[in-house]
A and B are shown apart, each in its own frame.
Chain A
């Protein structure tokens, strides 16, 4: 069974610094897809970035990048030059790709506080 674990409940960083949020996953599938989503204080959930398991290059979108360590089943989210508006809850998620399953499993989330 697939599982996604985020052990960091809350992180506080100073504005304009770099932060890394951890995520480990469990899957029996050889093909899978990893996602990070952001939930703002208003409750809105938005997609940020994706890593396909068969790609060796770490994905990068704007000031978000991933640290994909496949042997460790780890997919960390890196946010550079953090801004106050990056304060939110960040969810790691996974979908297995070898079946017809459409289900995406989410971790419990990491609450990021960016301080001025």
Chain B
């Protein structure tokens, strides 16, 4: 069974619309992350959360908003979508407070903005 569930797997959106990418992890981790992968910038860090608090934000645009409703959830809301937002978005988790803790990645949500 997948330890990190990302939904949907594929998503097609119209320019200007809003979408929410879902991430749930069942590893008991309290640190969660979002990364974006595109041909232009492979595996680019976006956000990190620890115990549902934002720790680091490397996303310049406020159109990207993470949402943590439960400790094992970290969704990503994207508003005013642009074609440049087309990418695969990966959620990951790790044990917090341990800098040597490796990530477990979800299978990704492939977003295409037309």
Residues of A participating in the B interface, judged by any CB pair closer than 8 Å? 31, 33, 35, 37, 43-47, 50, 52, 91, 95-97, 100-106, 108-109
Is B31 in the interface zone, CB < 8 Å from A? yes
- Distance (Å) between the CB of B31 and the closest chain A CB? 6
**Which residues of chain B from 28 to 62 have a CB within 8 Å of any chain A CB?**
31, 33, 35, 42-43, 45, 48, 50, 55-56, 58
Task: Select A100's contact among B45, B55, B104, beta carbons within 8 Å.
Answer: B55
In the assembled complex, the Cα of A103 lies from the Cα of B31 at a distance in Å of: 11
User: Considering the chains assembled together, what is the distance between the CA atoms of A104 and B55 in angstroms?
Assistant: 13
A103→B38 CA distance, assembly (Å) = 18
Contact B33 A102 (CB under 8 A): yes
Looking at the complex, which one of B33, B88, B100, B107 makes contact with A97 (CB distance below 8 Å)?
B100
Partner of B102, one of A47, A91, A108: A47
Q: Given that A101-B55, A102-B48, A102-B56 are contacting pairs, would A50 and B103 also be in contact in the complex, using a CB cutoff of 8 Å?
A: no
For the residues of B in contact with A, the DSSP-based class is: strand
Is A45 a contact of B105 with CB atoms below 8 Å?
A: yes
A97 with B45: CB separation less than 8 A: no
> Which A-chain residue is minimally distant from B106 (CB atoms)?
A45
